[in-house]
């Protein structure tokens, strides 16, 4: 009985090693993944995608960067406008013109805070888009030569043989 437990343990350990080792070596490890696309995308958004020949992603990147920059500039202008209006209202100078007579001071503070938060969110989204552009180029470079054909497969099946012991069968099929 001890030999059966030892045999099953050895079979189990061997199966685990095969399952871990084989999939990691199924891809061609001689491919050198260079960082050219990552560096290009860091220098200028979209160049890494052009290097990886994923041309359709470039307009999406520039649309996202342009949209977030537009909202940043627009929200910053409105933030500055309401901030200056609040400062002008509270400077106690009778010669200062107040262009926002319809709003109270509390409304001006609320609008100023709203546009400041919107401006900050737009800048965060701009930086996030820029960062995702770099990550996309880097990941795409690694997946350019990834092997997705059906020539290699591993099948694990439990089996029962004549001696009534449980075993795992490993079959590896590799087509040339």
| Average pLDDT of the chain to the nearest whole number | 79
Domain range for 122 is 55-148
pLDDT digits (tens, 9 = 90+) for 25-74: 445 544 555 688 889 999 999 999 999 999 999 999 999 999 999 999 99
Residue 101: exposed, middle, or buried by beta-carbon count in 10 A (0-12, 13-18, 19+)? exposed
Spell out where the chain has E strands: 152-160, 166-174
46 neighbors 62 (Cβ within 8 angstroms): yes
Question: Which pLDDT value is given to residue 93?
Answer: 78
- Asked if residue 114 is part of any domain, the answer here is yes
pLDDT range class, residue 115, cuts 50, 70, 90: very high
Total tally of structural domains belonging to the chain: 1
Does 154 map to a domain? no
Task: Flag whether pLDDT at 133 surpasses 70.
Answer: yes
Q: Exposed, middle or buried, 136 (CB in 10 Å: 0-12/13-18/19+)?
A: buried
DSSP for residue 44: S
Query: Is residue 106 in some structural domain?
Result: yes
Q: How many CA atoms lie within 13 A of 19 on its CB side?
A: 12
């Amino acid at each position: 009985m001890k030999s059966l437990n030892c045999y099953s343990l050895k079979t189990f350990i061997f199966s685990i090693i095969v399952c871990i080792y084989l999939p990691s070596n199924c891809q061609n490890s001689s491919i050198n993944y260079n960082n050219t696309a990552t560096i290009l995308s860091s220098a200028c958004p979209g160049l890494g995608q052009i290097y990886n020949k994923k041309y359709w992603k470039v307009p999406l990147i520039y649309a996202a960067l342009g949209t977030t920059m537009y909202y940043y500039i627009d929200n910053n202008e409105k933030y500055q406008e309401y901030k200056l209006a609040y400062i002008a209202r509270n400077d106690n100078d009778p010669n200062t013109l107040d262009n926002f007579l319809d709003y109270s001071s509390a409304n001006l503070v609320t609008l100023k805070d709203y546009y400041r938060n919107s401006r900050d969110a737009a800048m965060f989204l701009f930086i996030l888009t820029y960062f995702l552009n770099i990550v996309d180029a880097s990941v795409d470079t690694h997946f350019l030569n990834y092997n997705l054909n059906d020539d290699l497969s591993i099948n694990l099946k439990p089996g029962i043989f004549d001696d009534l012991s449980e075993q795992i069968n490993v079959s590896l099929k590799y087509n040339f």
